[in-house]
Structure 1
Amino acid sequence: MLNKKYKPTAGFLYFGTIMMGISMSILAQYKGDFATLWHTDLSGVLNVIGAAGLGGIIAALITGRLSDKFGRKISAIIGNVIQSIYYFGLLLSPNVTTAYIVAAIGGGLGNGFINAGSSPTLIEIFPKNGSVANLMTKFMISVGQFLLPLFILAANSTGIGYRGVFITAGIVYLVLALIMAFLPFPQPGEDVKGSSKQEKSGKKKVSLGTVALVLIGYTSTAVFFLWLNTYQELAVQYGVKQPSILQSIYAVAAAVSVLITSAIVKKGVKESTILTWYPVLSACSLLLALVVRQSFILYIVSALIGFFAAGGLFQLAAALLAKMYPELKATAMAAAGFMSMLANMTILSIASVIVKSAGANGQSLILVLNIVICIIGTVLGLIVKKEEDHLNEVN
């Protein structure tokens, strides 16, 4: 560890990622209530939820550079304050247009600042295990998504309603911002201070491996996001009686994957090896679903996709980028974040076109599309691995 004084900082940053996991789907749990509040229908609420993706793309363009220039603490504070405004703003929005603006600025930009403040900081706090430190943010997000239904159940039992839930979340973010103001943060690049000039400066030039890692931000997100939003129709075709069970299996497998992947990285397995093999195994899993058209296979495939596609490949790629640009960690990681947000915004549109044009064969073609994305991800992983092996031979 870099310094014991940063232990509380790491703890609260990880708590913030648990809150991020809650924020990712909390609005979707109260679509009916907000449709009434904003005088719109469910599609209007879904558009508001999607606005966070637009804000995330904008955030990826600016927050990384600001974090590297002005420090992680200010980014973390700004992010938590904006997230608080997001929760309060949604409750105060008189119509869906205002809510859309609040979601784009608050949800997308707020999360962007939090990411730019937390992920690079955790890598700097744990310099010997930076990849694992960043990978654990994925686990904490999964924890938040697991806890959300329990919080909603508790809220319903106490009668505080959706307003109480959102007010509470807004207050939690304000408190987090206040706590962050008094916590010590490492300076950007502190983990490489004292290194040789060459080691400290990192790889300033953009290489083929760098481009591949940035593009993995797209493929690693697109694979699990496409599965997560299209398996329902496939499950109906295959005769699965309760498709929601597949999501639970997927979520548990993803959480287990983070823990196992963290362990094998600590044991010395290279991140580039995982970035190469996990997409291969994801493609094989999807091929099973394409070939074996039986309900039982989807339970197996959901677990495999959760493990190999949703277990933190994006976090590993982002951590590798941070290693390549040690004094520009947030900027480098934001480049992969931009591609991840782009995947969120585009992949379902592509799937929609396929379904409309292919009719009954649409779900099968979506599986084919996802397999192709996995193959592209594998090629990108091989590029990263080849460049890493070459650099090791030179050094």
Structure 2
Amino acid sequence: MKNRYMPTALLLYLSYVIGGTTSVLIAQNMDYLSLQLHTDNAGVAYVLSGIGIGRLAVLLISGILSDKFGRKPFVFIALGLFIVSYVGILVSPNVAIGFICAVIAGMANSCLDVGSYPALMEAFPSAPGTATILIKAFISGGSFVFPFVTGFIIANNIYWGWSFIFFIVYLFVLGVALLRMPFPNHKIEASDSSAEDATVAAEKRFLSKPNIWIEGVCLIMIGYTSTATFYVVSIWMPKFGAQVAGMDYSVALRLISYYSIGSLISVIITGWMVKALYRQVTFVFVYPLISTICLVLMYCYPTPILCKVASFIIGFTAAGGVLQLALTTMAEFFPRGKGKITGLVYTLSSLATFSTPLITGYLSKTVIADIILFNAVVDACGVIFALIVMFRYKTVFGKTYRFAKKAVSSAPEVSVAAVGAE
């Protein structure tokens, strides 16, 4: 039977084409905003840090209120805040006003998340993991299109603000379309007894008690390192390509498209491999290791070809779901504390979106290449955290752990959606 929420879901996905990539939209227009706000790259990076502050400020409270009042109001609040933010950025006369607009965009992003993720899981209860991971695909799609739009505007000397105006109209039309769309009843939940039975079954698989101060802290910190890695690349890769690798800026903007293609492909391939072949903890270690190597190579040998290849690979590994996979690994270790720990991981993720623009903005005042080196160091820390988690995984779930999923007979299955639903 056809799912009556399919049109609603499609519109929610389409909202992430714009709403999930605000930082990319601002970064793509960094030069123009620098002139309008009477600042430099570091000033625009400071403005970008406001997105993280906005997310952090309302993330937990908006989630609680979404459970109480439903998902639909928060989706509309998000769309409205995005429109206010984009209009504000267009007319901002200085960094202070631009920063406030970025904070509003961050708040909008949190509201969109707490409205859309639960709504999609409730609309497709038999496949909540697939429903939520598709959001990543639409975010990647938006990141892929933006550089071509910006590049076209630059090449034809068109007013840079048209990209913002188009997205304002886009979000308004989405809001009108969503007005009459049905949302699932947020009060319908699984019984407490069934949830308790699942938790007890998961805990019986432990051979050793999980330790929140070891693997717990490491996985929470991966919330920071994984977000920082792809966030820095999405903001600074065009600048690095133009100023360090010697690419024309309109061409360097397309590096984000390569990055987004990698992310989009990764969502499909990684989702399949996690389901059929390998444990998610494997990717939490392997993907940051690969992206760290790419960042180091790009720092040492900044050529246009290497930048293109590295952008794709980093998109595949860093932006392809490491944060989500870390969350599902966390759910395996701590099946009774998924809600609380999910909040901690996303809090560290929000801290990354706040702090990395400030740090990289400062670094941009000296050498742009140092930003890539900084990113490599952060990603390397994530590799170390993941390595500790893998050793602890063997201790908790058994010495038979291998990369191949079929070799792990003792670890429970936990979906991304199971984490987010708590």
Q: TM-score range by the shorter chain?
A: 0.7 to 0.9
2:383 aligned partner, one-letter code: I
Any conservation in 1 of the 2:262–2:315 contact (CA below 8 Å)?
yes
Shift of 1:219: 1.7
The 5-angstrom pairing of residues 254-273 of structure 1 reads 254-267=263-276, 269-273=278-282
Residue 222 of structure 1, aligned match among 201, 225, 228: 228
Taking the aligned partners of 1:215 and 1:141, their CA distance within structure 2 comes to 23
> CA 1:22–1:300 in structure 2 vs 1: closer, same or farther (change >3 Å)?
closer
Match of 1:373 among 373, 378, 381: 381
Unaligned stretches of 5+ in structure 1?
Answer: none
- Report the CA distance between 1:137 and its aligned residue: 1.6
- Cα offset, 1:49, TM superposition: 3.1
Change (3 A) 1:294 1:20: closer
Indicate conservation of the 8 Å contact 1:189/1:328, yes or no: no
Classify 1:172/1:227 alpha carbon distance in 2 versus 1 (closer, same or farther; 3 Å).
Answer: closer
TM-score by length of 1: 0.76
Q: Does 1:135 align with 2:143?
A: no
Q: Does residue 111 of structure 2 align to residue 102 of structure 1?
A: no
Question: How far is the alpha carbon of 1:116 from its aligned partner?
Answer: 1.3
Distance (whole Å) between structure 2 residues aligned to residue 376 and residue 127 of structure 1: 36
Q: After the TM superposition, which residues 3-152 of structure 1 pair with which residues of structure 2 at under 5 Å, given as runs?
A: 4-31=3-30, 34=33, 40-43=38-41, 44-93=43-92, 95-104=94-103, 106-152=104-150
Q: SS of the residue aligned with 1:74?
A: helix
Equivalents in 1 of 2:199, 2:224: separation in Å?
27
Distance 1:17 1:342, change over 3 A: same
CA contact (8 A) 1:64 1:334 kept: no
- Alpha-carbon deviations, 1:274-303, whole Å to 9, x = none? 22332233344445557x747465554333
Work out which of the residue numbers 315, 325, 346 in structure 2 matches 1:316. 325
Query: Which residue identity does 2:350 align to in structure 1?
Result: M
Q: Quote how far apart the aligned CAs of 1:17 are.
A: 0.8
Range moving further from structure 2, 133-142 or 118-127: 118-127
Distance 2:372 2:153 in 1: 40
Q: Give the Cα separation in 2 of the matches to 1:45 and 1:166.
A: 16
Q: Which has the higher helix share?
A: 1
Superposition map of 1:229-308 within 5 A: 241=247, 244=252, 246-267=255-276, 269-286=278-295, 288=297, 293=301, 295=303, 297-308=306-317
Post-superposition CA distance 1:68-104 (Å, at most 9, x none):
3332222212111211221233345455433322321
Contact 1:276 1:379 in 2 (8 A): yes
CA distance in 1, matches of 2:331, 2:3: 22
- Residue identity over aligned pairs, in percent, reads 28
Bigger drift between 384-393 and 122-131 goes to 384-393
Q: Distance in 1 between matches of 2:258 and 2:150?
A: 21
Deviation string 1:141-162 (CA, Å, 9 cap, x unpaired) is 1111222244457778999845
Q: 2:417 maps to what in 1?
A: none
Two-structure CA RMSD over aligned residues (Å): 4.5
TM-score normalised to structure 2 length? 0.72
1:339 shift after superposition: 1.3
Cα deviations across residues 238-273 of structure 1 (Å, max 9, x unaligned)?
866568265443332222212211222343643333
Aligned positions, number: 389
Aligned to 1:41, the other structure's residue is in SS state: coil
Tell me the alpha carbon deviations over residues 200-253 of structure 1, each in whole angstroms, 9 at most, x when there is no partner: 7899xx972655443322121122334455667876898665682654433322
